[in-house]
Chain A
């Protein structure tokens, strides 16, 4: 049964007109389209974005703080919806566009969550696993092979998802942050570095040169006793002296 389209006649005409202006490549991507018409359609349906944001993203404090960003992301989703909408199928534009708007906003919100970027297919798999675990009232760590088979997920994929879940618990901190209010030191000051400080390296070279010079001034007996005392074999020095 084809649902009754609620998109008004004028909008339908515009969508049909927009369809005719689109030039697609062999993969179905839009190469060229009437931008003015597209903008007109977006303006006409702009209230839909506000409606979706108010309906689905207005309860959490984080969503409230990001409201203006979510609206913008929603509008980007609306543009995708306009590009992909096929009026000849007979569905309402709002039905189709709501999915795109939500997808766009969800994608943005997921990007905001971790400091490390997690690929979208891993995020989707993670959400599926979490939902299934919630349905079965089991913990994420107790997910078994049977559940993976049910979702058609490989063990390798599950390992990737587990690794992605772990990153959520990682604690991120700026290295320029002060360690405490009473200390002037930052995290950068206390993290050990593998690179050698140039001044220390120069000092070490100076000391080593001085030590070599000082050692050469000692007589053979002193050299040998010193070396033996510190566990260094002195036969090399003695042999050299004998050769001389």
Chain B
């Protein structure tokens, strides 16, 4: 696995994320956005693995974060994680 980057379709780049988050009141630059994303992903995967009864080690997490297919699965799972309540929030509309 020599790939040094991951491509995500329909996703935003770090600079856009940083701009959006800043506008929403969470001041950050692109590097912070990346760091938050990586730590968030790591935490998310660790939590899942613990729930399924097989906690991942740090090394395993680092390996998984670099896999394209894992990112694709995350892209599929994350929208499903939003509760119906959140999706239909009247304030958001």
Contact = CB atoms under 8 A, between A and B. Distances in A.
Chain A interface bracket (under 10, 10 to 19, 20 to 34, 35 or more): 20 to 34
Contacts of A236: 82, 86-87, 89, 92
A53 B8 CA distance: 74
- Interface of chain B, main secondary structure: helix
A38 interface: no
B6 to A, nearest CB: 10
A210 B56 CA distance: 14
Of listed A213, A225, A226, residue having the most chain B CB within 10 A: A225
- Interface of chain A, main secondary structure: helix
Nearest to A211: B77
Given A206-B52, A211-B77, A211-B80, A224 B37 contact: no
Contacts of A239: 89, 91-92
B74 interface: yes
Contacts of A240: 85-86, 89, 91-92
A228 B39 contact: no
Contacts of A227: 78, 82
Interface of B: 8-12, 16-17, 20-21, 24, 26, 33, 36-37, 39-41, 43-48, 51-52, 74-75, 77-83, 85-87, 89, 91-92
Given A207-B48, A214-B46, A230-B8, 17 more contacts: A210-B51, A211-B80, A213-B47, A215-B44, A215-B47, A218-B40, A218-B44, A221-B21, A222-B43, A229-B17, A229-B37, A230-B74, A230-B75, A239-B89, A240-B85, A240-B86, A243-B89
